Structure 1
Amino acid sequence: MNKLTTLYRPFHLILASAIALGAGCSLVAPGEFYQLQAPAEASTSVHADLAVLLGPVKLADYLQREQILQRQPDGRLTASRNGRWAGNLEDEVGQLLLRQMAMRLGSSHVALYPDRVGVKAGAQIVLSISRLDSGEGEPAVLEAQWRLLDTDGEVRDSRVVTLQAAHEDQLASQVRAQSELLVQLSEQLAGAVRQLQDNSRKVAKAQPARGQENRQDSLPQERGIPMAEPLPELEVYRF
């Protein structure tokens, strides 16, 4: 009998420990999940003819995590206890920029790298975000570099960007401020694409004029020979 009691005692201890752990887990506050959101705006009346490939879009390594990071006054970064991103932040950033650029360009011909099926890009944007964070008492800050490539892969524009936005310290307000910074970035990217399109149109208009000049220069030389004038009538003198 004592042997049976000794054998069953570890089982009771394990069961009690499991119940205690379960009770402890139930006391943990559920996480709060956030997504980047941009305000809905009316589409522009300007329509871009260029198909645009957005990406690669690269986020800094420190942003590749589920927890929302908080910037401290001394520059440190700490993970929020409850605040988490609802999805992959890099994908969220890419999708927000994609929607905003499509709206601002008035075109659905915008694809997110590497999904380029059926898209023959006339322009490509390569984007690297080195900072996107905020904190209580610290503004939302976006630091990024982008390059605009033409259809031949040549760099037509490049810029280093630093943007800031204020917020009301609550985590939801911080996420809205970060979203607003990405909206501002999309405005800048769309403007660069429109400028590239305008320059391409100017070049296309100038090419026919140059071609016309070349055709005129290549006309047969004989067409430029002046016509011979008739000789004046000779006078005959008789002696």
Structure 2
Amino acid sequence: MRHPMILAGVLILLSGCINLGEGTRQRIRLYTLQPTVSAAEPRFGLAGQSVGVGPVYLPDYLQRTQVITLDAPNEYRLAEFAKWAEPLEENILRVTAENLFRLLESERILTFPWRSGRKPGYLIRMDIRRFEAVTGDAAHLTVQWTIEPQESEKAPRNGLFQGKSPLQGEGTEAVVAAMSRTLGDFSRRMAEELARFAEQGKAGS
């Protein structure tokens, strides 16, 4: 996996314009989640093992191109001129894998589907229940996760992650940056769980 040269909470990849009438144009901005784990953070031992991230399952309300925010308890707002630069599912996989690459002493971090034809030593399955920002508050992420070892004699490990990151500013850039931070916190949790799982496997062998 290649290291990105620049870390950022949010990256505006490109923009276009929509004509809203005579003399008026609205710029469309495309956003992407970014890795937030620093390469200088402590690393967890997982030498000799490969890790696969995915598949990830998203609820229907997140399977759209627009960035959404929760404006009221039962009301979502779609940002008409702020869209994801790639499918959100793929963005989550890629960023989680990059975060784990910086956290784990692992040979390989792969994303689903596995192009090599071989399953990694550990799989991280993600069933995302919630992933959005509440207007004027924070970004929230709820994930039902499963770590599945390739060795059949080991039982999978399951858990629920619930995290949030306060918005630091206004607008879509602040929303996406906060979402990136929550995904970074989830990645740290997975690194800890993977390292603990691997140590338990050594103790039982």
TM bucket, shorter chain: 0.7 to 0.9
For the aligned residue pairs, the C-alpha RMSD in angstroms reads 2.1
Could you list the runs of 5+ residues in structure 2 that have no partner in the other structure?
Answer: 1-18
Structure number with the bigger relative contact order (C-alpha 8 A, sep ≥ 6) is 2
**One-letter amino acid matched to 2:175:** Q
Quote the offset at 1:87 in angstroms.
1.1
Figure out how many residues of one structure are paired with residues of the other and give that number: 183
1:164-205 residue CA offsets vs partner (Å, 9 max, x unmatched) = 11112321111110000000000111111111111121123x
Structure 2 match to 1:134: 133
User: SS at 1:146's partner residue?
Assistant: strand
Structure 1 match to 2:165: 165
User: SS at 2:184's partner residue?
Assistant: helix
Q: 1:135 to 1:45 in 2, by over 3 A?
A: closer
Is contact 2:147-2:156 (8 Å) kept? yes
Quote the offset at 1:46 in angstroms.
4.0
Q: 1:70 to 1:120 in 2, by over 3 A?
A: closer
Structure 2 match to 1:79: 78
1:80-99 residue CA offsets vs partner (Å, 9 max, x unmatched) = 13211111111000000001
Could you list the runs of 5+ residues in structure 1 that have no partner in the other structure?
Answer: 1-21, 205-239
Q: 1:51 to 1:70 in 2, by over 3 A?
A: same
Structure 2 match to 1:195: 196
Quote the offset at 1:135 in angstroms.
3.7
Structure 2 match to 1:184: 185
Aligned counterparts, 1:1-239, within 5 A: 24=21, 27-39=24-36, 41-42=38-39, 44-48=42-46, 49-117=48-116, 119-153=118-152, 155-167=155-167, 168-204=169-205
**One-letter amino acid matched to 1:139:** A
Is contact 1:147-1:155 (8 Å) kept? no
**One-letter amino acid matched to 1:36:** L
- Greater strand content: 2
User: SS at 1:35's partner residue?
Assistant: strand
- Greater helix content: 1
